[in-house]
Structure 1
């Protein structure tokens, strides 16, 4: 049983029991001394997982990072085991253009397990890897993420590579279903989170009218001062560029999902207000009766999209306090629904 799991014994000092979690000077100094090799996201000799939903732009951003790292003089190897046959020529040309090595086991009449054997031999030979960066796309091609034993052996190998000076970036998927906080989480056993230095999530917007997607990398678990960074992907030519300003894509997605979830009540509120404003209490009663939702559930949605300033584009409807008994009077904000839905 680990120290963190040891129950508090009678007469045990509380400070001693919790000391394993105490932040130390050496830990902080190590974080501050970290050498970033790519945009304050990837740190030298760290083991990183970049996770996101399918289609979230992980590979596009990872190959962009590989190109910049190679152009900076590092030796970059990109293990690509997840691309379709139609994508390989484009990825090969990108690697040739930017000076990194694209690896694929199938085209070598081999398997990912054969790549692992070569990596083990490198570790056994203690080959210096200080100038080496390795990307693995994707994790599911190398191990069963739901098996603790398989994960442990694989991550021990990855850690050995970093101990030889190498930097390792593993691309992984998030679960199909959201967690308790509404966010999707990395797909795999909990031990994986503890085995890596940084766990970074990729969140992407839907494509805009010009075929562009905004992708934001958000560090979740870190052992260095990794930063959020935003990028734009042109899905027509698959080119990526870094954005100067940070875009909170996760927040935008959360707002959109919440709007979709609230839509049945929103629609009924708009129907109730279509003929004119209503007393707040009357509105809640009507919508609750029409939707079958509890009055409290309706109140939360009404209050969530309510404002007092007509210029507030986040509001769907407006609240006015009447002098008589300080009554709350609710009315539709002109053009508010369309503005909010587009945000």
Structure 2
């Protein structure tokens, strides 16, 4: 009878081909590499996951994504320098708009046809990030999925999602924007366009349906189709679709809503004078530390019950380096974040803005505002 305590012969261990892949004894290293899954972009995209956001054209998927990205940077969830927005489905003006906005936050924009980049080069770049250990802590936003693989091809899609999976396992986070099918389901809801492997192989998937809200707002409702983690079943965002808006103004209009009303800019106090808003802006910049543009705008608009567009207009009007014309300037802080800094003493500014005459006559025009700035 054999001794049950006896160890198997070494030769038997060597014959097991799986031994070279075992993680035995690697717990400490794995724990060090593990990424805590917590909200990164809004509540729908978690760190350490691969997420796909599907919507029909012009539904606001890019707008919502970038608005939530800026919020994440401003609130310290991620550094702008750790984000790569890969724009492979845009016009030249669209690329320029996004670079102008995202430069303020230190975000890297990589675009098709610029600096020698082609969409087909992305997979090898991700492979290099994994191999060189530079994927950890990075966020990749792909716009849109179909530019990097063929979503209707099972073999191509499986190969690409396998690379995404290894990128996530290496400590990265990925959000891919994708299109829905031209045909809706039996309930009139949008459905994902592509083979099921895309949703099956990623951690989380949302589909966007759009409806009109009050006062011309557009409501984008995100409905969850796949999850591995604590994300909501549904979340809705409202934004202004007005074509004459600047891109930063449209980004500023994005806010989470209950899906029924237009939200933050519906009820506005037009009796609030511009100099009151400017005082609030000056105090916010003076006391606020490293706060980005959109964070300041949201805070003042919410506190003073005025439109974010109006606050943004005043904030941008008085930014510059000439103390005779401007109140604050842009400065670059750590992580590449652009923040505001007063160029006049706070006491001088508040005294001027609170005096009956307000600022000098060369600046009076902006203070005469009485109506809806829209």
Structure-1-length-normalised TM-score: 0.58
1:197 match: 203
Deviation at 1:165, TM superposition (A): 1.0
1:151 aligns with 2:157: yes
2:132 match: 125
2:220 match: 215
1:62 aligns with 2:65: yes
Aligned partner of residue 79 in structure 1, secondary structure: strand
2:27 match: none
Is the 2:64–2:251 Cα contact (8 Å) retained in structure 1?
Answer: no
Deviation at 1:128, TM superposition (A): 4.5
Aligned partner of residue 239 in structure 1, secondary structure: helix
1:50 match: 53
Q: 1:248 to 1:224 in 2, by over 3 A?
A: farther
Deviation at 1:78, TM superposition (A): 0.5
Deviation at 1:240, TM superposition (A): 4.1
1:171 aligns with 2:177: yes
Q: 1:244 to 1:151 in 2, by over 3 A?
A: closer
Is the 2:151–2:195 Cα contact (8 Å) retained in structure 1?
Answer: yes
Q: 1:128 to 1:191 in 2, by over 3 A?
A: closer
Deviation at 1:242, TM superposition (A): 5.1
2:258 match: 246
Q: What does the per-residue CA deviation read over 1:159-212, in whole Å, with 9 as the maximum and x for residues that have no partner?
A: 1110011110000000000123432211110111210111111222247654x3
2:193 to 171, 187, 194: 187
Q: What does the per-residue CA deviation read over 1:114-142, in whole Å, with 9 as the maximum and x for residues that have no partner?
A: 2221111122223341x211100000100
Unaligned runs of 5+ in 1: 1-32, 250-343
Deviation at 1:218, TM superposition (A): 2.0
Q: In structure 2, how many angstroms separate the alpha carbons of the residues matched to 1:97 and 1:123?
A: 28
Q: What does the per-residue CA deviation read over 1:260-306, in whole Å, with 9 as the maximum and x for residues that have no partner?
A: xxxxxxxxxxxxxxxxxxxxxxxxxxxxxxxxxxxxxxxxxxxxxxx
Q: In structure 1, how many angstroms separate the alpha carbons of the residues matched to 2:210 and 2:189?
A: 13
Please, what is the CA RMSD of the aligned residues?
Answer: 2.1
Deviation at 1:244, TM superposition (A): 5.3
2:100 to 93, 99, 107: 93
Aligned partner of residue 205 in structure 1, secondary structure: strand
Q: In structure 2, how many angstroms separate the alpha carbons of the residues matched to 1:114 and 1:128?
A: 16
Moved more, 178-187 or 149-158: 178-187
Q: What does the per-residue CA deviation read over 1:37-70, in whole Å, with 9 as the maximum and x for residues that have no partner?
A: 2332111111100001111100101111222233
Is the 1:133–1:168 Cα contact (8 Å) retained in structure 2?
Answer: yes
Q: 1:104 to 1:47 in 2, by over 3 A?
A: same
Q: What does the per-residue CA deviation read over 1:8-65, in whole Å, with 9 as the maximum and x for residues that have no partner?
A: xxxxxxxxxxxxxxxxxxxxxxxxx842223321111111000011111001011112
Aligned partner of residue 171 in structure 1, secondary structure: strand
1:39 to 42, 46, 53: 42
Q: In structure 1, how many angstroms separate the alpha carbons of the residues matched to 2:154 and 2:193?
A: 13
Structure-2-length-normalised TM-score: 0.54
Q: 1:106 to 1:128 in 2, by over 3 A?
A: closer
1:76 match: 83
Is the 1:143–1:151 Cα contact (8 Å) retained in structure 2?
Answer: yes
Deviation at 1:248, TM superposition (A): 6.0
Q: In structure 1, how many angstroms separate the alpha carbons of the residues matched to 2:259 and 2:160?
A: 34
**How does 1:212-291 map onto structure 2 within 5 Å?**
212-227=217-232, 228-235=234-241, 236-237=245-246, 238-241=250-253, 243=255, 245-247=257-259
Q: 1:38 to 1:88 in 2, by over 3 A?
A: closer
2:302 match: none
Aligned partner of residue 104 in structure 2, secondary structure: helix
Is the 1:80–1:104 Cα contact (8 Å) retained in structure 2?
Answer: yes
